[in-house]
Chain A
Amino acid sequence: MATKRKITNLTEVARITCVVQKGLADTVNASLLEVGVQGATVHYGVGTGVRERMGILGIAVDVEREIMSVLVPLDQVDRIFERMYLAAHLDTPGNGYIFVTPLLQAATYIPPHLLND
Chain B
Amino acid sequence: MSNEHTEDTPVVAPVAIPDIRYTRMLTCILYEGGGEKVLEELHHKGVNEAYYYNVRGNPIGRASLAGGLPEMPKTEVLHAVVAADQADYIYNFLYHELNLNKEGQGVISINRLIRSSPNTLPADMQDEAAH
For the complex, give the distance between the alpha carbons of A67 and B36 in Å.
Answer: 17
List CB contacts (< 8 Å) of A72-97 with chain B. Answer: 77-78, 81-82, 85-86, 90-91, 93-94, 96-97
B48 proximal to A (CB < 8 A): yes
Contact of B120 among A19, A94, A101 (CB under 8 A): A94
For the complex, give the distance between the alpha carbons of A81 and B124 in Å.
Answer: 28
- Interface segment among B4-12, B60-68, B92-100, B108-116: the answer is B108-116
B114 & A19 in contact (Cβ 8 Å cutoff)? no
Which of A67, A85, A101 lies at the interface centre, i.e. has the most chain B CB atoms within 10 A of its CB?
A: A101
B35 proximal to A (CB < 8 A): yes
Given known contacts A43-B53, A91-B15, A77 and B115 CB-to-CB distance under 8 angstroms: yes
B25 & A50 in contact (Cβ 8 Å cutoff)? no
List CB contacts (< 8 Å) of B69-127 with chain A. Answer: 81, 111-125
B51 & A19 in contact (Cβ 8 Å cutoff)? yes
Would you call the interface of chain B mostly helix, strand, loop, or mixed? mixed
A41-56 to B contact mask, C-beta < 8 Å, 1/0:
0011111111000000
List CB contacts (< 8 Å) of A2-36 with chain B. Answer: 14, 19
| Chain B residues bordering chain A, tally (CB within 8 A) | 33
Residues of A within 8 A of B122 (CB): 59, 61, 93-94
A40 proximal to B (CB < 8 A): no
Task: For the complex formed, measure the closest distance between the CB of A105 and the CB atoms of chain B, giving whole angstroms.
Answer: 15
For the complex, give the distance between the alpha carbons of A47 and B114 in Å.
Answer: 21
For the complex, give the distance between the alpha carbons of A44 and B17 in Å.
Answer: 25
B39 & A48 in contact (Cβ 8 Å cutoff)? yes
For the complex, give the distance between the alpha carbons of A45 and B53 in Å.
Answer: 5
B114 & A77 in contact (Cβ 8 Å cutoff)? yes
Q: Which residues of chain B have a CB within 8 Å of any CB of chain A? A: 15-18, 23, 25, 35-36, 39, 42-43, 48-53, 81, 111-125
